[in-house]
């Protein structure tokens, strides 16, 4: 409902615009009301523009099928009996039906309890808690956001596994650190973080990256947290029991395990697993054309060579379209450069504002 003061103000604005030559319907749309609404306000000598909406003050008759006062008291008394005091109406009504008793429908029970202020969670049940929003990070260049995770590598011995740790640069998708370990150990994860930080030279950078991982105990161990703090890396974690908060790392592991070179019967020993991992990382970084970055390799994206590659592809497609325009019913394939990569994307407006903020020149 629109308040009386707002109605009067909107009517004056629309009348002024209409008197100045504007059409009535577009003027009402600009004001956020329908032209029929304005006509209703002005009907009956403009009573609704003088007294406002009468609906809140109307005296409505009690429906003929409504519960009587005695019946409402009986419903409330039964709902507060010891055996029903901790149960919701959805359970009370069937139990009464099993006893051959019908007092009111489930919706009537809820209505009576709500009007009596007893519609909260009954018994010791707690209301649903608001979940923590996903950790959102936006990378506009390499070295800003890293993702890491651990996956199991099967062996030829049943029930035995090796553990593959991988650190991935979110912006370029390049694997910047990896390790295959015999055990799931926090010291191995901490050592991997240190080696990766040294290899990427983050000590010389003004801003250290964010390292996003899941809620695994190894990645949240005290040894790992101490190493992250020493390197100046900010840790970030997925929400509990949410599998897609670290989707880039999960997609990497899927690509790895569906490669033809991945042994279907497991690895013979740790050295075989390390040899396979080294070959996979080399292929992934330098030969793999990643679909999420316009089918350039992660290494090309990491070094910035993809800008020229994508520009050449676009020029080639424009030339092909100019040669045979009859074969093109629409635009050419999209080879535009991807400015930002978002982990757990938020609204597009937030991502765009982040891009503009990072592209703004620094003051002299």
- Check if the beta carbon of residue 147 is closer than 8 Å to that of residue 249: yes
Determine phi and psi for 305, rounding to 5 degrees.
Answer: -70, -15
Question: Can you give the pLDDT at residue 330?
Answer: 87
Q: How many C-beta neighbours within 10 Å does residue 151 have? A: 17
Q: Is the dihedral of CA 110, 116, 118, 119 positive or negative?
A: positive
Q: Where are the alpha helices (DSSP H) in 99-214?
A: 106-115, 186-200
- Check if the beta carbon of residue 48 is closer than 8 Å to that of residue 7: yes
* Low pLDDT (below 50) residues in the chain: 361-364
Q: What are the structural domains, with CATH classification, of the chain?
A: 4-55 (no CATH), 69-115 (no CATH), 137-298 (3.30.420.10)
Question: Can you give the pLDDT at residue 41?
Answer: 83
- Check if the beta carbon of residue 234 is closer than 8 Å to that of residue 210: yes
Question: Can you give the pLDDT at residue 45?
Answer: 73
Q: Where are the alpha helices (DSSP H) in 20-149?
A: 24-31, 35-46, 48-51, 69-79, 89-98, 106-115
Question: Can you give the pLDDT at residue 346?
Answer: 62
CA dist 237 and 184 (Å) reads 18
The three state secondary structure string of 264-327 is CCCECCHHHHHHHHHHHHHHHHHCCCEHHHCCECHHHHHHCCHHHHHHHHHHHHHHHHHHCHHH
């Amino acid at each position: 409902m629109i308040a009386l003061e707002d109605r009067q103000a909107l009517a004056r604005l629309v009348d002024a615009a209409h008197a100045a030559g504007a059409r009535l319907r577009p003027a009402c749309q600009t004001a956020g009301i329908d032209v029929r609404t304005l006509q209703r306000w002005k009907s009956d000598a403009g009573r609704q523009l003088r007294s406002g909406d009468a609906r809140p003050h109307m005296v409505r008759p009690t429906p003929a099928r409504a519960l009587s006062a005695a019946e409402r008291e009986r419903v409330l008394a039964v709902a507060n009996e010891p055996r029903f005091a901790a149960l919701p109406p959805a359970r009370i009504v069937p139990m009464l039906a099993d006893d051959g008793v019908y007092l009111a429908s489930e919706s009537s029970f809820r209505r009576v309890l709500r009007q009596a202020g007893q519609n909260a969670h009954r018994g010791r049940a707690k209301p649903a808690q608001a979940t923590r929003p996903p950790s959102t990070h936006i990378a506009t260049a390499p070295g800003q956001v890293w993702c890491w995770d651990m996956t199991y590598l099967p062996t030829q011995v049943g029930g035995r596994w090796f553990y593959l740790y991988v650190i991935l640069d979110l912006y370029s998708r390049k694997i910047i650190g990896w390790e295959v370990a015999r055990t799931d150990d926090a010291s191995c994860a901490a050592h991997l973080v240190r080696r990766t930080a040294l290899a990427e030279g983050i000590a010389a950078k003004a801003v250290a990256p964010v390292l996003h991982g899941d809620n695994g105990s190894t990645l949240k161990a005290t040894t790992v947290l101490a190493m992250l703090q020493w390197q100046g890396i900010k840790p970030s974690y997925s929400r509990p029991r949410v599998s897609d908060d670290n989707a880039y790392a999960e997609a990497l592991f899927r690509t790895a395990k569906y490669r033809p070179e991945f042994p279907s019967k497991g690895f013979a020993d740790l050295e075989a697993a390390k040899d396979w991992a080294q070959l996979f990382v080399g292929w992934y970084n330098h030969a793999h054309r990643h679909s999420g970055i316009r089918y350039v390799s992660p290494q090309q994206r990491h070094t910035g060579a993809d800008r020229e590659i994508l520009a050449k592809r676009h020029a080639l497609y424009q030339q092909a379209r100019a040669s045979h325009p009859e074969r093109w019913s629409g635009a050419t394939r999209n080879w535009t450069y991807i400015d930002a990569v978002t982990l757990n994307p938020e609204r597009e407006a937030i991502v765009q504002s982040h891009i503009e903020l990072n592209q703004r020149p620094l003051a002299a």
